[in-house]
Amino acid sequence: MSDSLKIKKNQIRVRIAPSPTGYLHIGTARSALFNFLFARKHKGKFILRIEDTDQERSKPEYERDILEGLKWLGLEWDEGPIIEDRSRYRGEYGPYRQSERKKIYEKYIKKLLEEGKAYYCFCSKEELEAQKQYFISIGQPPRYSGKCRGLSKKEVEKFLREGRPAIIRFKTPSQKVVFTDIIRGRIEFDASLIGDFSIAKDITTPLYNLAVVIDDFEMKISHVIRGEDHLPNTPKQILLQKALGFPSPQWAHLPLILGPDRSKLSKRHGAVAIHEYRKEGYLPEALINMMAFLGWNPGTEREVYSLASLIKDFSLERCQKSGAIFNIKRLNWINGFYIRQRSPEKITEMCIPYLIEAGFIEEVTEKNDPQNPGSESNPQELRLFESKKRKFRIKKTQEIVDIDWITKIVAIYQERLKKLSEISELTDFFFEDKIKFNKELLRWKEMTEQEIEKSLTLLENLLSEIEDSEFTEENIKAKLMPEAEKLKDRGKLLWPFRVALTGKKASAGPFEIASILGKEKTLKRIREAKELLQSK
């Protein structure tokens, strides 16, 4: 294509232009990711433009969500809105919100009008609707008839003075529009089927296609990388670029992200907002990894990719043409993988908000503690307060613990986590004073109640022999395993033990749980299990 922009490597400029009429959507985030990767790969600029032409539906709340979501994902933009400081909303190439660009638009809309490439249209809604029906009835694409094309200057001025409602239409030339898409190759549209589409509401207010064309030109966008749903807009935009004397950028239309029914992923398929995934406890690197593989792959068998390694290996040429179904199970797998990769300390930090939200613990700061400043705190608590570590109060028991204790809990559940939000239901028994469960749960295989009681008594006796300070995972194991072996079936001792401590049929190992709970609580729970067994 002779009219395509010749771009030097250092001139690569790409953008995403979300409209703040909704929360940051997975599809938008994926487009952002691919633009970001392309820009970083070629040492270009990644620009964020807020497309807030729809003033009625745009909300600051959505805008904030988009900006925060992109940041959280690590997709930092080089130019564009900066949330902390509204005064920096301007970049080298002008303001980055469409609503602030009236003057620029006016210049170009005037130009099109003066050169006869666009015209005012005064047709009523009813007229337009009738035309539409007519075209449909004869099996042709609905489009504008061109009725107002021939209006004289005088007539137009008169109508405008009268205050007749008007819009501005583009005089679409009858020709074939051919362009090369980086992902899809040659694509051809017949412009005569498009009709004279509307480009502006008035002299300062462009409609979508014109606004995009002007903005992209003003911001010197070299490559437009966007979803396949924009493919039908492309010929219109190319025609507008020609009419305005703008070079066309390179095009790359990404395959869509689909729901399980193969239609475009939307709310009815479930969570689509990035912040919902964040809240559920998905890690940004998991989302990035997953989104990158929706429509792209490195051509090797490698599946795990960080943002940095994606930058290294990414290329638009390796993008897929067909839509990809968003598969939550795959996300869960990769998220679990990244959770296992992180240090227990880091995961603990990330899990604490969930434990607080579940009402298990609350953070204790100097201000709200010690709980009763006048009263005597026990020595252990006092020692805790001498350290700089974060401290928490277990709400049910009022005990004060430090973050190391929480870390121990999280550490034994880290490999079981698919998403962070699961931590609370998995570890709730650590934060209860007395746990509740059905006594049937204590039974391992065909054990009789007498056998269960024997096992519990044995546990109580054996564990009592361990000193408080020696109550470690290793020591408990050393004490109990030989006895468990004697029973031939280890489960006879270990299953009731685990259930007595957790009240669950699935959990981490009983030795590690007991050591974290401590001797006193462990024995208390065994005794409580015995009581439960004896109850009717």
Partner RNA sequence: GGCCUCGUCAUCUAGUGGUUUAGGAUACAUGGUUCUCAACCAUGUCACACGGGUUCGAAUCCCGUCGAGGCCA
Q: Which chain residues interact with RNA by CB under 7 A?
A: 129, 132, 136, 139-143, 184-185, 187-190, 193, 228-229, 231-233, 255-256, 258, 261-264, 293-297, 299, 301, 303, 318, 320-325, 327, 329-330, 332-333, 336-337, 340, 415-416, 444, 484, 490-491, 494-495, 498, 505-511
Selected catalytic residue, list 110, 267, 312, 321:
267
Q: Which tokens is 385 given?
A: 């307060």
In the bound complex, what is the minimum distance in angstroms from residue 391's beta carbon to RNA? 29
Q: Which tokens is 471 given?
A: 């109550």
Q: What is residue 446's DSSP assignment?
A: T
In the bound complex, what is the minimum distance in angstroms from residue 245's beta carbon to RNA? 25
CB burial of residue 406 (10 Å; 0-12, 13-18, 19+): buried
Nearer to RNA, 94 or 509 (CB): 509
Q: What are phi and psi of 476, to 5 degrees?
A: -65, -45
Nearer to RNA, 140 or 387 (CB): 140
Nearer to RNA, 264 or 390 (CB): 264
Beta-carbon contacts of residue 67 (< 8 Å; ≥ 6 apart): 48, 81, 83
Measuring CA to CA, which residue among 183, 133, 130, 516 is closest to residue 320? 183
| Cα angle, residue 485 at apex, residues 483 and 486 outer, rounded to 5° | 65
Nearer to RNA, 64 or 147 (CB): 147
Give the C-alpha separation, 394 to 367, whole Å: 17
Q: Which tokens is 331 given?
A: 């996300």
- Does residue 370 have a cis peptide bond before it, meaning omega lies within 30 degrees of 0? yes
CB burial of residue 471 (10 Å; 0-12, 13-18, 19+): buried
In the bound complex, what is the minimum distance in angstroms from residue 129's beta carbon to RNA? 7
- Does residue 18 have a cis peptide bond before it, meaning omega lies within 30 degrees of 0? no
Give the C-alpha separation, 487 to 293, whole Å: 51
116: β partners:
none
In the bound complex, what is the minimum distance in angstroms from residue 446's beta carbon to RNA? 13
Q: Which tokens is 299 given?
A: 């051509």
Length of the chain: 536
DSSP element (H, E) containing 449:
helix 449-464
* Residue 267 among the catalytic residues: yes
In the bound complex, what is the minimum distance in angstroms from residue 276's beta carbon to RNA? 20
In the bound complex, what is the minimum distance in angstroms from residue 163's beta carbon to RNA? 24
In the bound complex, what is the minimum distance in angstroms from residue 79's beta carbon to RNA? 28
In the bound complex, what is the minimum distance in angstroms from residue 233's beta carbon to RNA? 7
CB burial of residue 431 (10 Å; 0-12, 13-18, 19+): buried
Measuring CA to CA, which residue among 319, 85, 344 is closest to residue 184? 319
Nearer to RNA, 157 or 415 (CB): 415
Nearer to RNA, 27 or 69 (CB): 27
Nearer to RNA, 74 or 509 (CB): 509
Give the C-alpha separation, 7 to 249, whole Å: 9
Nearer to RNA, 188 or 376 (CB): 188
**SS3 for 54?**
coil
Which residues carry out catalysis? 267
